[in-house]
DNA sequence: CCGGATCCCAGCAGATACTG
DNA sequence: CAGTATCTGCTGGGATCCGG
C-alpha cells in the first residue's frame, strides 16, 4: 500500500489515510457525534446507538486508543463509566460539521 | 434528523453517517485524493495505490455510484478508462484538506 | 496488454452468556 | 451497570482467471 514514497514523491495520500483508518469503524463517527453533546455513560451510548455491548466496547476502546475520547471510571458499585471527548476529539469536530454540511447538500432532494 | 428508531436498532444519528458509509471503503479516500491531481486511468490508479485490480474496480464503482467520480470509457482497443472527480467530488475536497491538516497536527511528533 | 468479473478467505460486527 | 468471552455470520479486500 503506502504509495511509493521513494525519492520523488508528492506527499502521499497518507495523512488522510490515517484519519480514514481512525474513523473506519462502523460506529466511530456516530459515537463521536453523540459525544459532542457532552459526556455520556456506557449505557446511554448503547441506548442512543443501539450497538451491542461487545461492539460498543470495542469501538470505544479504539477511539480511546486513538486519543479521541477519554474514559472516566468511577471505581464503585454500581459501576459508572463516562466517556467524553479529549481535546483532540474536540478538534476533530469541525470535520464532522463539514461532513454534515456537505452531506445535507449532496443528498438534498432525497 | 431523526436521531434514533427505537424498535429496530436503526439509528440515523446524523447526515455524517451517510458520509461515513460513502467513504467507508478502505481506499476510497486515497482514490479521491489522487484524483484531486487530475484525471487518471485505471492502471495509473493501480500503480499509485497498489490496490489489487478487483478491489480497485469495486471502490471506483462505489465512488461512481455515490456520484463522486466520473468514468469515461473509450470503447476501443486497447481499452482506456479514465476517472475524474465530479462536481460533487470536488466539493468534497475541503473535507479531505481538513482531514489532512488535522491528521498532521494530531500525529505530529511521531 | 488493459480493464473487469469471480472466487476465497481474513477481519470485523452482532448475539448470547457470564463476571465483578 | 459495565464490561469480558466466545461463537457465528457477513462484509469486503486480495489473488486469480476472463474478455477484448
Confidence of residue B87 (pLDDT cuts 50, 70, 90): very high
Task: Give the closest residue to B45 by CA, choosing from B84, B8, B74, B72.
Answer: B84
Among B10-14, B27-31, B64-68, name the one with the lowest average pLDDT: B10-14
Domains, chain A, in order of start with CATH, read: 26-106 (1.10.10.10)
pLDDT tens-digit readout, B71-85? 999 988 889 999 999
Give me the residues paired with residue A83 across strands: A40, A71
The tens digit of pLDDT for each residue in A43-100 reads 999 999 999 999 999 999 999 999 999 999 999 889 999 999 999 999 999 999 999 8
Range B12-33 burial, b when 16+ CB lie within 10 A, else e: ebbbbbbbbebbbbebbbbbbb
How far, in Å, are A19, B32, B54, B76 from residue B29 at the CA level? Answer: 10, 5, 17, 30
Nucleotide lying nearest to B9, CA to C1' measure:
C14
φ and ψ at A25, to 5 degrees?
-55, 150
**Cβ-Cβ contacts under 8 Å, B26 against chain A:** 20, 24
* Nucleic acid strand D within 7 Å of B41 CB: no
**What residues of chain B lie within 8 A of the CB of A23, using their CB?**
20
How many A×B Cβ pairs under 8 Å? 112
Residues in chain A with CB shorter than 8 Å from the CB of B34 are: 13
| B95 vs B1: which has the higher pLDDT | B95
Could you tell me which of A33, A26, A21, A4 has the C-alpha nearest to residue B29? A21
Closest Cα partner for B49 from A10, A8, A13? A13
Is B92 close to A104, i.e. CB distance below 8 A? no
> Looking at residue B19, what is its pLDDT?
86
Answer yes or no: do A95 and B98 touch at CB < 8 A.
yes
The conformation of residue A72, written as its DSSP 8-state character, comes to E
Amino acid at each position: 500500500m503506502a504509495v511509493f514514497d521513494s525519492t520523488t514523491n508528492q506527499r502521499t495520500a497518507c495523512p488522510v489515510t490515517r484519519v480514514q483508518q481512525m474513523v473506519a469503524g462502523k460506529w466511530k463517527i456516530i459515537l463521536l457525534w453523540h459525544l459532542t453533546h457532552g459526556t455520556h455513560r456506557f449505557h446511554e451510548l448503547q441506548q442512543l446507538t443501539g450497538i451491542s455491548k461487545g461492539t460498543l466496547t470495542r469501538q470505544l476502546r479504539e477511539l480511546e486508543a486513538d486519543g479521541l475520547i477519554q474514559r472516566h471510571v468511577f471505581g464503585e458499585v454500581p459501576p459508572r463509566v463516562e466517556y467524553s471527548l479529549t481535546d483532540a476529539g474536540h478538534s476533530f469536530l469541525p470535520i464532522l460539521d463539514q461532513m454534515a454540511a456537505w452531506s445535507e447538500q449532496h443528498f438534498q432532494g432525497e
